[in-house]
Structure 1
Amino acid sequence: MTRTVAVIQARTGSNRLPGKILEALYEDVSLLAYQCRRLRDIPGVDELVIATTEAPDDDAVVELAKAEGIRVFRGSEENVLSRFLLVADATLASTLIRITSDSPFRDPDVIAKCVAEHRAHGAEYTRPADGHLPKGLRAEVVETAVLRQIDEDPATTVRDREHVTIHIREHLDRYRCHVVEFPEALRHPEIDLSVDTPDDLDVVRSVHAELLARGWPVDTLHICRLMEENAVLHSIITDLAS
């Protein structure tokens, strides 16, 4: 049996904006809750889970996951790779999708396209092509067997374990890798919709409110279209990213 599981790696610890993933995007809906609701039914994905830490502060993440009806797994704060393998063991996942929790606008259609191409090309690691999507809207697909290989390698560093896929990205020649291309309209690498500071939080709130005010869906295409039409918002975002 093969299973594909999407993993949101989430913790409340943050140097510049502690607890950011529990901050409200709108009304009483937090960034993490919004992301969970968007990604719970991704085509081609068997399950969405959250991988958090054993730190007491992350009890709040566990409670959120329960409220959203999503399984949550707790592991090492520093060794994120071990958290992913914990998820793989518990869910019998042969393929994992790595999703960070600091951007609420991950697009299920983008992830589904990455998963479909990953399978079609028999890849071990798949990601969007460089420059083909705004930052904060990307996802990575990786075979569990590759992560086990990295975990068991004596040469694997603390940095490799913290960042999960960085070893693969720095040694692409060692793996069957595939990059997914997206239409020209989505190629806005100057836009960064990840949240790391209070200003970033204000930006994603503004983007969400503006999309709703226009009656547009919150997807990658309409986010990019909004950036093209709203010069002020585009300028604010690119200034923050620079």
Structure 2
Amino acid sequence: MTKRNIFLRSNRLYFEPLEEKHINPYYINWLNSSKITQYNSHGVFPNTKNKTLQYIQAIQEDSNTIVLAIFEQLSNVHIGNIAIQNIDFLNSTCEISILLGNRDYWSNGYGYEAFHEVIQHCFTKLNLNKVSAGTTSDNIGMQKVAKKLGMILEGTRRSEIQRDSRYFDIYLYGLLKNEYKKPKQKIVASIEARMTSSRLPGKVLKKINNIPSLELMINRVKRSKKLDEIIIATTTNKEDDSIIKWCKTNKIKYYRGSEDNVYKRVLNTHIVNNSDIIVELTGDCPLLDPMLIDQAIECYLNNDYEYVSNCIEETYPLGMAVEVFSLEALKTIADNRKLNNTDKEHVSPFFYTSNQYKTYNIVAPKNLFYPELSVTLDTIEDFKIIEKIDNYFDNDDYKIKDIIAVAKKNPQWLLINKDIHRKGLK
């Protein structure tokens, strides 16, 4: 396997310095394709392997040019190149251009994502004050990307490009460092769910008072005020086809991944979904209070912690676990180390066991401190107490304080599952 030389990384992409190893027949075909090169200067003269090698050697010796190969993370497919060129350190300016050669990846936001990542590098690492880009008047897609990035149309070079016996203008865009605004971070909750639980098979679709457990949980999670999306992270096991069918019927987003490597499943769920901040939930928490989700997100956003949860030390009732971290942080768990079984099964313990991250555990206030109550759905005994609690209320909009109140009012319910051994981390 070719060793990666990653220079930059975004949610769905990574970038390597363009090198000889990237040259192959597919790459040469990009440069000679009239469709792919219709909006740039490639494709005018034939490109060969030798000419491309000469180009790479030239840019490697040019201190005012950086050319990066763009790769899609999940497939490790080289999908295009992006260049920072004409870097002027005296005046703190540069120009950016892009070539997306793999047409399978067109119209999926990859161009915008690549530009965004490289512009950030120009402003924060190269300490430039202005980035510029140009495109032809008929390249509507690039014009939309420029506007979405907040770039200003600064001028027009009239009839600058001739193509197919027609002349086209070049639009010149610019963006100053003090004009650049980072896009709003996309906060996404993933719910890990599968049908093959050893102690309670099919539990995520088992009906609690005529509503599937997963539906009850999603109805409650949807009341979060800070989540942008919810996505079900299930497996490729045929047993989980029923979860997919339910998701499609209820118009819930889903991703299918590894059954055994939950870390990889959760990671890929959020790469595909282009998430920025991950709220990790498990499908065995049907009574989870959305207030706890918002509390953890707010704690994460308002501080410089890399990992926030309320379950490093259990102080709330079991079944109220929320974990918040960035997609970028999750990727680092697998950087320069081999995943162990704990990583693969539980996803995030490395955050709080390695002493390499800034972490914070939210402790329940006195009125919500009740770890002796377990409403996590692992066994039939858990199901019985969850159903009793849910049946007590007229709708599913009850809060954690209401759950605790009804449990304290009916202390005999706690005896139902008090002797259940939990299989989680110690």
Normalising by structure 2, we get a TM-score of: 0.53
> Is the radius of gyration larger for structure 1 or structure 2?
2
| Counterpart residue number, 1:138 | 321
1:223 aligns with 2:406: no
Q: CA deviation at 1:154?
A: 2.4
Could you tell me which residue of structure 2 aligns to residue 119 of structure 1?
301
Once residues 270 and 397 of structure 2 are traced to their aligned partners in structure 1, the CA distance between those partners, rounded to angstroms, is 32
User: CA separation of 1:47/1:146 partners in 2, compared to 1, >3 Å: closer, same or farther?
Assistant: same
Q: Deviations over 1:58-84 (max 9, x none)?
A: 011111112222100000111111112
Q: 1:234 maps to what in 2?
A: 414
What are structure 2's unaligned runs of at least 5 residues?
1-182
Gaps of 5+ in 1: none
1:21 match? 204
1:35 positional shift: 0.8
1:70 aligns with 2:214: no
Task: Work out whether residues 99 and 140 of structure 1, in 8 Å CA contact, stay in contact via their aligned partners in 2.
Answer: yes
Name the CA distance, whole Å, in 1 between partners of 2:419 and 2:203: 21
Equivalent in 176, 200, 215 of residue 358 of structure 2:
176
Q: Does 1:107 align with 2:285?
A: no
Is the 8 Å Cα contact of residues 382 and 416 (structure 2) preserved in structure 1?
Answer: no
The question of whether the paired residues in 2 share the 8 Å contact of 1:95 and 1:144 is answered with: yes
1:170 deviates by 1.7
Specify which of 78, 86, 90 is matched with residue 268 of structure 2. 86
Count of paired positions:
238
Cα deviations across residues 2-33 of structure 1 (Å, max 9, x unaligned)? 21100000010111111111110012x11011
Alpha carbons 1:14, 1:20 under 8 Å: kept: yes
Q: CA RMSD in A?
A: 1.8
Greater shift, 93-102 or 126-135, is seen at 126-135
Q: Mark the CA change 1:160 to 1:131 in structure 2 (over 3 Å): closer, same or farther.
A: closer
Displacement after TM superposition at 1:216 (Å): 8.9
Partner of 1:39: 221
Contact 1:94 1:143 in 2 (8 A): yes
Match of 1:151, SS state, is coil
Instruction: Decide whether the 8 Å contact of 2:381 with 2:416 is kept in 1.
Output: no
> In structure 1, which of residues 160, 175, 179 is the aligned counterpart of residue 343 of structure 2?
160
**Alignment correspondent of 1:206:** 388
Structure of greater relative contact order (alpha carbons < 8 Å, 6+ residues apart):
1
**Secondary structure of the corresponding residue to residue 300 of structure 2:** helix
Q: CA deviation at 1:239?
A: 4.3
In the superposition, the TM-score normalised over structure 1's length comes to: 0.92
1:234 and 1:119 map into 2 onto residues whose CA distance is 36
Tell me which of 318, 330, 336 is aligned to 1:147.
Answer: 330
Measured at CA, do residues 77 and 97 of structure 1 come closer, stay the same or move farther in structure 2, by a change above 3 Å? same
Counterpart-to-counterpart distance in 2, 1:216 and 1:228: 19
Give the % identical residues. Answer: 26
Structure showing the higher helix proportion among its residues: 1
Q: What CA deviation, in whole Å up to 9, does each residue of 1:120-172 have, x standing for no partner?
A: 1122100116243101012111111121011233232132122101222322x
**Aligned AA for 1:148?**
K
Query: Is this contact kept in 2: 1:191–1:241, CA < 8 A?
Result: no
Q: Does 1:60 align with 2:223?
A: no
